[in-house]
Chains A and B, each alone.
Chain A
Amino acid sequence: MTATTTTAPESLLERAERLYRDWRLGAVHEWKARTGGLAVGFMPVYAPREVLHAMGILPVGLMGAGDDLEIIRGDAYYQSYICHIPRSTMEMALNGSFDGLDGMLFPAICDVIRNLSGIWKMMFPGKVVRYLDVPQNFEPELGGRFWRQEIEGLCAELAERGAKPLEPEALRRSLAVYNTHRRLVYGLYDLRRDEPWKVPTHELYPVLRAGLVIPVEEHIEMLKAYRAGVEADVSRRPMDLARVVLTGSFCEQPPLGLIKSLERAGCYVVDDDFVQVHRWLKHDVPTTGDPLDALVNAFLTDSIEHATRWVEKEPKGADLVNRVRRSGAGGVVFCAPSFCDPALLDQPMAVAAVEAAGIPWTAFKYAENTGQFQVIREQAGTFADSIQLWSAVS
Chain B
Amino acid sequence: MTPAAVARKDASQDRQKRMIAEHFSRLARAPETGEKNCYTYVPGNLTELLRSFDLLPVLPEINALQSGMRGKTRDYIAVAEKAGHSEDVCAYVKSDIGMQEMGNVGPTGERLPDPDVLLLSYTGCFTFLKWFELLREKYKCPVAMLHVPYQGEGVVTPSMRKYVVDQLKEKVIPALEQVSGRKYDEDRLREHLVRSVQAENDLVAVLQSAKHRPSPIDAWFGGVYYIGPIFTSFRGTQDAVDYYRELRAEVEARIAEGKGPVSPEGDVTERYRVVVEGPPSWTHFRELWKMFADEGAVAVASTYTKVGGVYDLGFRHDPAHPLETLADYCMGCYTNLNLPSRVDMITQYVEEYAADGFLINSVKSCKSFSAGQLVILREVEKRTGRPGGFIESDLVDPRYFSGANIKNRLESYFQMIAQKRAGKEAS
Residues of A within 8 A of B (CB): 76-79, 81-82, 86, 106, 108-112, 114-119, 121-123, 130-131, 133, 135-137, 139, 141-143, 145-146, 149-150, 153, 307-308, 310-312, 315-316, 338-342, 344-349, 351-352, 365
B55 within 8 A of A: no
Q: Nearest B residue to A336 by beta-carbon distance?
A: B86
Q: 5 shortest A-B CB distances, which residue pairs?
A: A118-B339, A131-B152, A345-B130, A136-B147, A146-B163
A128 to B301, CA, bound (A): 33
| B384 at the A interface (CB under 8 A) | no
B149 contacts chain A at the CB level, 8 A cutoff: yes
Q: Give, as a whole number of angstroms, the nearest-CB distance from A154 to chain B.
A: 10
Q: Which residue of A lies closest to B83 (CB)?
A: A348
A111 near B145: Cβ-Cβ < 8 Å: no
Contact: B126 with A114, CB < 8 Å?
yes
Majority SS at the chain A contact face: helix
A157: nearest chain-B partner, CB-CB = B153
Q: Which B residues between 369 and 414 are near A, CB-CB below 8 angstroms? A: 370-375, 379, 392
**A81, A131, A137, A342: the one within 8 Å of B130 (CB):** A342
Report A45 CB to chain B, min CB distance, Å: 13
Chain B 86-121 interface 0/1 with A at a Cβ cutoff of 8 Å (1 = within)? 101110010000000000000000000000000010
Residues of B within 8 A of A142 (CB): 163, 166-167, 170-171
Residues of chain A with a CB closer than 8 A to B90's CB: 341, 345
* A-B residue pairs in contact (CB < 8 Å), sample of 28: A79-B370, A79-B392, A110-B367, A111-B125, A115-B371, A116-B372, A117-B338, A121-B340, A122-B379, A123-B375, A131-B150, A133-B152, A135-B147, A137-B147, A142-B166, A142-B171, A145-B162, A149-B159, A150-B159, A308-B126, A310-B145, A316-B133, A316-B137, A344-B89, A345-B86, A345-B89, A345-B133, A348-B83
| The one of A108, A116, A307 that contacts B371, using a Cβ cutoff of 8 Å | A116
Indicate if the CB atoms of A146 and B160 lie closer than 8 Å: yes
> A355's closest neighbor in chain B, by CB?
B84
Chain A CB count within 10 A is highest, among B93, B133, B147, for B147
Inter-chain contact total with CB atoms closer than 8 Å: 159
Chain B residue with the shortest CB-CB distance to A139: B170
Partner of B340, one of A82, A122, A308: A122
Docked Cα-Cα span, A123 to B379, in Å, equals 10
Cross-chain contact B150 with A133 (CB below 8 angstroms): yes
Cβ contact within 8 Å between A114 and B150: yes
Give the shortest distance, in Å, between B365 (CB) and chain A (any CB): 9
Please name the residue on chain A nearest to B146 by beta carbon. A137
Closest A residue, CB atoms, query B163: A146
Do the beta carbons of A82 and B370 come within 8 Å of each other?
yes
Q: How far is the CB of B77 from chain A (nearest CB, A)?
A: 14
Out of A137, A339, A340, name the residue touching B167 (CB < 8 Å).
Answer: A137
Query: In the assembled complex, which residues on chain A have CB atoms less than 8 Å from the CB atom of B163?
Result: 135, 137, 142-143, 145-146
The interface residues of chain B lying within 8 Å CB-to-CB of A123 are: 375
A114 to B342, CA, bound (A): 14
Interface residue from B157, B342, B371 paired with A112 (Cβ < 8 Å): B371
Distance A308 CA – B159 CA, assembled complex (angstroms): 23
A136 touches B362 (CB 8 A): no
Please indicate the chain A residues that have their CB under 8 angstroms from the CB of B58 in the complex: none
Q: Which of B129, B137, B339, B367 contacts A136 (CB 8 A)?
A: B129
Question: Complex: how many Å from CA A163 to CA B149?
Answer: 26
Tell which of B130, B167, B338 touches A341, judged by Cβ atoms closer than 8 Å: B130
Q: Given A79-B392, A142-B170, A342-B130 in contact, is the A352-B343 Cβ separation under 8 Å?
A: no
Residues of A within 8 A of B374 (CB): 76-79
- B122 interfacial contact with A, CB 8 Å: yes
Q: In the complex, what residues of B have CB within 8 A of residue A145's CB?
A: 159, 162-163
